[in-house]
A and B are shown apart, each in its own frame.
Chain A
Amino acid sequence: MNDDELITVLREQRGKVVMTIPVEQIISRGRTVRARRRVPVVASAVGVAAAAAAVAAGVALPVGHPAVRPSGAGAPAASDSASPPSVRLAAWTVTRQADGSIKVTFRQVSDPAGLQQTLRADGVPASVTFTGQQNTACQPYHVSASQAFWPYGSRPGPLDGSAFINHPEGAYTTPYAFVINPSALPSGVGLQIWTSGTSGAADNFQLHVTLVKTSPQCTGSTSS
Chain B
Amino acid sequence: MRAQQPDFAEFYRAAKDECLFAVLMSVGDRDTAQDLVAEAFARAWASWPAVSTHPAPAAWVVRTALNAGVSRWRRRRREVPVPDFAIVADRPAADAAGGGVDPRIMAALSRLPERQRQVVVLRLFLDLDTEGTARALGIAPGTVQAHLGRAMASLRGELIPIWQEESRK
| Interface, chain A (partner B; CB < 8 A) | 1, 3, 6-7, 9-11, 13-21, 23, 25-27, 29-34, 37, 169
B20 contacts A19, C-beta separation under 8 Å:
yes
Q: Which residues on the A side are within 8 Å of B12 (C-beta)?
A: 23, 26
A13 contacts B45, C-beta separation under 8 Å:
no
B47 contacts A169, C-beta separation under 8 Å:
yes
Mark B147-160 against chain A: 1 for CB-CB distance below 8 A, else 0: 00000100110011
A169 contacts B43, C-beta separation under 8 Å:
yes
Of the listed residues B39, B41, B46, the one surrounded by the most CB atoms of chain A closer than 10 A to its CB is B46
A-B pairs with lowest CB-CB distance, top 3: A30-B45, A29-B42, A19-B16
Main secondary structure of the interface of B (DSSP, over half): helix
Nearest Cβ distance between residue B27 and chain A, in whole angstroms?
12
Q: Does B99 count as interface, using CB distance less than 8 angstroms?
A: yes
A25 and chain B: residue at smallest CB distance: B38
Please tell me which one of the listed residues B37, B97, B156 contacts residue A19 in the complex, with CB atoms under 8 A apart. Answer: B37
Q: Once the chains are docked, how many angstroms separate the CA of A3 from the CA of B157?
A: 11
Q: Which residues on the B side are within 8 Å of A1 (C-beta)?
A: 156, 160, 163
Nearest Cβ distance between residue A126 and chain B, in whole angstroms?
31
A27 contacts B45, C-beta separation under 8 Å:
yes
Q: Once the chains are docked, how many angstroms separate the CA of A20 from the CA of B46?
A: 20
B155 contacts A6, C-beta separation under 8 Å:
yes
Q: Which residues on the B side are within 8 Å of A169 (C-beta)?
A: 43, 47, 50, 64
Q: Which residues on the A side are within 8 Å of B98 (C-beta)?
A: 17-18
Nearest Cβ distance between residue A208 and chain B, in whole angstroms?
22
Q: Which residues on the A side are within 8 Å of B129 (C-beta)?
A: none
B101 contacts A17, C-beta separation under 8 Å:
yes
Q: Which residues on the B side are within 8 Å of A19 (C-beta)?
A: 16-17, 19-20, 34, 37-38
Asked if A6 meets B159 with Cβ closer than 8 Å, knowing A11-B125, A19-B16, the reply is yes
A13 contacts B16, C-beta separation under 8 Å:
no
Q: Once the chains are docked, how many angstroms separate the CA of A27 from the CA of B4?
A: 12
Q: Does B5 count as interface, using CB distance less than 8 angstroms?
A: yes
A64 and chain B: residue at smallest CB distance: B75
Q: Once the chains are docked, how many angstroms separate the CA of A31 from the CA of B12?
A: 16
Q: Once the chains are docked, how many angstroms separate the CA of A210 from the CA of B2?
A: 28
B25 and chain A: residue at smallest CB distance: A13
B38 contacts A16, C-beta separation under 8 Å:
no
Nearest Cβ distance between residue A203 and chain B, in whole angstroms?
12
Please tell me which one of the listed residues B20, B47, B124 contacts residue A17 in the complex, with CB atoms under 8 A apart. Answer: B20
B34 contacts A20, C-beta separation under 8 Å:
yes
Interface residues of B in 116-165 (CB under 8 A from A): 120, 124-125, 152, 155-156, 159-160, 163
B17 contacts A15, C-beta separation under 8 Å:
yes
Please tell me which one of the listed residues A9, A16, A33 contacts residue B100 in the complex, with CB atoms under 8 A apart. Answer: A16
Q: Once the chains are docked, how many angstroms separate the CA of A30 from the CA of B4?
A: 13
Q: Once the chains are docked, how many angstroms separate the CA of A1 from the CA of B158?
A: 12
Q: Which residues on the A side are within 8 Å of B9 (C-beta)?
A: 23, 27
